[in-house]
A and B are shown apart, each in its own frame.
Chain A
Amino acid sequence: MNWVVNNLGLIWSLTLDHIALAVPPIILGFLISIPIGWVANRYHASRGVLLTISGLLYTVPSLPLFIALPAILGTGILDPVNVVVGLTIYAVALMVRSVADALAAVDSGVRQAATAMGYSGWQGFWQVEFPLAGPVLLAGLRVVSVSTVSLVSIGSVIGVSSLGYLFLNGLQRNIVAEVISGIVATLVIAIVFDLILVAVGRILLPWAKADPSARQTRRRTAERALTGTVTS
């Protein structure tokens, strides 16, 4: 415990670094996945290809990826951008399937009703399909959030500052408290992110609570998103 008390400043600043590295990939991954997932859902032939490719991306080991990215991007080896780009790739890998599933789960009757009422294609997507996909999108985003927060640590191996430093340093110097504080702080970030996402969902999707069928679809799709990536 002494170690923790003496190093609160370090833990806090590493926590902030960790958050700063985790947030952009979550947001970017979400935004990039929307058009790809839309295409996968819209054009039947592309679905299998796109989902397989994105699933395979997740199997690329992270350490070699972080080392290879500077060569590809022309960034410095210690540049945090490498980590952000790498984690965005993983976020996309997870999220594309969620977006495709979320859009596929929108009731075709409702989609037809939107057309019949006179929504144009673009309006219909943003005002009807996308919001209705919200609960499943949120479930996918929660998986992405947890995954990203835990993967950020690996950046420390290539020298990009995050809570991962506490595992490495703690292991090398055999300070158990340091390793544990790294794990706990990572867990806390993951939980706080999750709570924020759930709260945002409550605010943006008030109807989902009222609709029991939406809740079921959401759970099923979230389960599929998890098992899908594990097996692919």
Chain B
Amino acid sequence: MIEFRTVTKQFPDGTVAVDALDLVIPARQTTVLVGSSGSGKTTILRMINRMVDKTSGDIEIDGEDIYSLNPVKLRRSIGYVMQNSGLLPHRKVVDNVATVPMLNGVKKADAREAALTLLDTVGLDRQLAERYPSQLSGGQQQRVGVARGLAADPNILLMDEPFGAVDPIVRAELQQELVRIQRELGKTIVFVTHDIDEAFLLGDQVVLLEKGGRIAQAGTPADILSKPASDFVATFIGADRGRRALRVEVVNGRSVVVDEDGRPTGVLQS
């Protein structure tokens, strides 16, 4: 469990990115932070592994103040996956995955062996292990990034718009893969995105953020869809338009679900 208590982050230029945030991120679930740019979502994420230092407030992991820990050690115990994979271009795929365990003191041969197993986990061919990141496609690099995030077997996995830079087909594939991995591993995942569909797809809990890291609404996707807390939320999730404004029409004696334009999207099963 990760807990933020009245956490504020003000950058040196005076911008208040996060203002008195209270947030509980439950263990072994996926929490998605979603908001437009400037909503402070990445700042919140990076305060968890102290890539960004809070200005005030308390951040605890399982009841332990993260400021009582060495930041480098803290980061080695938390997986991190970023946009554009952030792979080290001068290390082969297998060595990229083995990096964090090796920083933790695992022997190179053991770390590499474990890395190969992780490539299986994220659905990558072991033949790619000896390639350099630039020789992989964007989707493959992102999978390596996920494998690297999992390499130290962390309890917590932070994911900063990890699928933002790949094409929609590959993104859908990676999302499904993450759902599968999470079902198997049950990590505490904190996932940042600006894509509300991605948030609803992946999140057990979705936290919708307004400017300044203020929580507009937090809850399960069903909660938020069924009861948007404000006009801002309703607009952000597109509750009033397109394929979220569904209604039922009876056709040939069956209940057909149609969208705003009257296009059928499916049939209700009784």
Contacts and interface: CB of A to CB of B under 8 A. Distances in A.
State whether these chains interact.
yes
Interface of A: 107, 109-110, 112-120, 123, 128, 131-132, 134, 205, 207-208, 210-214
10 contacts: A109-B83, A113-B86, A115-B51, A115-B75, A116-B158, A117-B148, A207-B90, A210-B135, A211-B89, A214-B89
Contact of A110 (B77, B80, B86, B104): B86
Contact of A116 (B49, B89, B90, B91): B49
A114 B88 contact: yes
Contact of A120 (B72, B84, B99, B131): B72
The 3 closest A-B pairs by CB, nearest first: A113-B86, A118-B76, A116-B80
Contacts of A134: 90
B6 interface: no
Contacts, number: 71
Contacts of B131: 210
A211 B134 contact: yes
B132 A207 contact: yes
A118 B86 contact: no
Contacts of B88: 110, 113-114, 128, 132
A210 B132 contact: yes
Given A132-B89, A211-B132, A212-B134, A118 B103 contact: yes
A211 B134 CA distance: 6
Interface string B83-119: 1101111110000000110011000000000000000
Contacts of A213: 134
Contacts of A208: 90
B73 interface: yes
Given A211-B132, A211-B134, A113 B87 contact: yes
Given A109-B86, A118-B104, 20 more contacts: A109-B83, A113-B80, A113-B82, A113-B86, A115-B51, A116-B51, A116-B75, A116-B158, A117-B99, A117-B103, A118-B74, A118-B75, A118-B76, A123-B103, A132-B88, A205-B90, A208-B90, A210-B131, A210-B134, A211-B132
A7 B1 CA distance: 82
B237 to A, nearest CB: 30
Given A112-B51, A117-B103, A207 B89 contact: yes
Given A207-B89, A211-B89, A109 B134 contact: no
Contacts of A116: 49, 51, 75, 80, 82, 86, 158
A173 B84 CA distance: 66
Interface of B: 49, 51, 72-77, 80, 82-84, 86-91, 99-100, 103-104, 131-132, 134-135, 148, 158
Nearest to B91: A207
Nearest to A204: B90
A118 B100 contact: yes
B75 A117 contact: yes
A167 to B, nearest CB: 43
Given A109-B82, A112-B82, A112-B86, A119 B103 contact: yes
Contacts of B72: 118-120
A117 B100 contact: yes
Looking at A109, A110, A114, which has the most chain B CB atoms within 10 Å of its CB? A110
Contacts of A112: 51, 82, 86
A133 to B, nearest CB: 10
B69 to A, nearest CB: 12
Contacts of B75: 115-118
Nearest to A212: B134
A205 B91 CA distance: 10
B132 to A, nearest CB: 4
A115 to B, nearest CB: 6
B90 A132 contact: yes
A119 B75 CA distance: 9
Contacts of A120: 72
Contacts of B90: 128, 131-132, 134, 205, 207-208
